[in-house]
Chain A
Amino acid sequence: GENVEQHPSTLSVQEGDSAVIKCTYSDSASNYFPWYKQELGKRPQLIIDIRSNVGEKKDQRIAVTLNKTAKHFSLHITETQPEDSAVYFCAASMFSGGYNKLIFGAGTRLAVHP
């Protein structure tokens, strides 16, 4: 089955710096790669996603890149702000056999220091 590995597990940056979180997946049939942000005590929420027919997607200060050959995808946050502090999860999904299966990485705890 699908396995998603996520690194690093913790990341500490100064406000204004960039942050990069990397994920790898195992199943080449996966074709959808969302990223979720979970603030303390809250439910995970989608912040950006990318589909397998696209190599890069950007939304203001966040961007995601996908390398299907290497089975890597990454989240890039520029000009980090204290409110970016949260746990970030990558995930991989495929639609196969009539259903979706959504598998998450272990999460990255990002701390942005003023």
Chain B
Amino acid sequence: DVKVTQSSRYLVKRTGEKVFLECVQDMDHENMFWYRQDPGLGLRLIYFSYDVKMKEKGDIPEGYSVSREKKERFSLILESASTNQTSMYLCASTLLGGNTEAFFGQGTRLTVV
């Protein structure tokens, strides 16, 4: 059974805090993605990575950074959390090339107060 696991289901953080969202996959996938999901806006791509230490900006990277030190782990970092970053964050992974199925984590609902 394939698995993508996000470290927290719910998080509440204060404005200005540094926040780490962790994602781990056990499928040996090369590609990993971070999306945020907001009502009416769908899944918007923040950052993605296709190899260890490699990263690419998505459509809304401002205010975020990422880290991929190991193939199975992809971290999303909010350097200084703001209230407009309150959202559902979803991690996903796929094999590289061939355009294959994306597997999603269960999501982290982050509230910044």
Residues of B within 8 A of A91 (CB): 102
Decide: B59 and A102 in contact? CB cutoff 8 A.
Answer: no
Decide: B59 and A103 in contact? CB cutoff 8 A.
Answer: yes
Decide: A44 and B104 in contact? CB cutoff 8 A.
Answer: yes
Which B residues from 2 to 55 make CB contacts under 8 A with A? 31, 33, 35, 40-45, 48, 50, 54
Measured between alpha carbons, how far is A42 from B101 in the docked complex, in Å?
17
A51 CB–B CB distance under 8 Å: yes
**Residue from A6, A95, A101 in contact with B45 in the complex, judged by beta carbons closer than 8 Å:** A101
Q: Known contacts A44-B43, A102-B33; is A34 also within 8 Å of B101 by CB? A: yes
SS class, residues of chain A in contact with chain B? strand
Q: Known contacts A98-B50, A99-B96; is A106 also within 8 Å of B104 by CB? A: no
When each residue 87-103 of chain B gets 1 if its CB lies under 8 Å from chain A and 0 otherwise, what string results?
00010101011110110
Point out residues on A near B: beta carbons under 8 Å: 1, 6, 9, 31-32, 34, 36, 42-46, 49, 51, 89, 91, 93-95, 98-107
Point out residues on B near A: beta carbons under 8 Å: 31, 33, 35, 40-45, 48, 50, 54, 56, 58-59, 90, 92, 94, 96-99, 101-102, 104-107
Contact sample, A vs B, 12 pairs, CB 8 Å cutoff: A6-B42, A43-B90, A51-B99, A89-B43, A95-B98, A95-B99, A101-B58, A103-B59, A104-B35, A104-B44, A106-B41, A107-B40
